[in-house]
Amino acid sequence: MKQNLISKNKLTKNQTLVLNVLLKAGLPLSAYSILEKLRKHGFKAPLQVYRALEKLIDTGQVHRIESKNAFIACEHSLCEISQMTAFTICQRCEKVSEVMDEELSNYVNLRAEKLGISTTKTNIEFHGLCNRCLSS
Ligand SMILES: [Zn+2]
Ligand SMILES: [Zn+2]
C-alpha cells in the first residue's frame, strides 16, 4: 500500500494524462482512443500511450480488460496491487464494473495452489446481461 502511494506521486506527466483520460471516461478505452484524446497534449504515437499504461497497470491504477483489449481506471482508490482482477461485462450496454471480492480472490488462489501453479496474474471476466438490461 505504501509503495502504491509513493509510485502514485511519482507519475510522469504522460502517465497522469493517460490516467485522467481513463478516470474521466469511466469505461474501458482502447489505446487508440486514449491516443486520440491526448493528441492535443502532444501525444503522437501509440507507444507513448502504451508506456504510460504499462506503469499504471504495474501500480494497479489501471487494469486491462483482456477480452476487449481495452483499459479501465481502477474503481477503487485503495485497490491494492492485486494479482487477481475481475470484471462484469454487460453484452448489451457494455457496462464494465470492477469486482472486488476477497472471497473470490481467496478461492482462486486456493484452486491455483491445488492445480500446482503459483499465479502471478489472474483475470476473470463475467460476460452477460446486467440487471438493468435484464429488466428492460
Ligand atoms: Zn482495481
Ligand atoms: Zn447492461
Tens digit of pLDDT at every position of the chain (136 positions): 444 454 455 899 999 999 999 999 989 999 999 999 999 999 999 999 999 999 999 888 999 999 999 999 998 765 655 678 899 999 999 999 999 888 998 899 899 999 999 888 888 999 999 999 999 8
Ligand 2 centroid to residue 46 C-alpha, Å = 30
Ligand 2 centroid to residue 66 C-alpha, Å = 19
When divided into structural domains, the chain yields a total of 2
Ligand 2 centroid to residue 88 C-alpha, Å = 10
Residue 79, domain member (yes or no):
no
Ligand 1 centroid to residue 98 C-alpha, Å = 7
Angle, helices 46-58 vs 31-38, to 10°: value is 110
Strand partners, 87: 98, 125
If asked whether residues 65 and 8 sit together in one domain, one would say yes
Residue 119, domain member (yes or no):
yes
Contacts of 129 (CB under 8 A, 6+ apart): 90, 91, 92
Global pTM? 0.82
Residue 124, domain member (yes or no):
yes
Note down the domain range covering 130. 84-135
If asked whether residues 68 and 98 sit together in one domain, one would say no
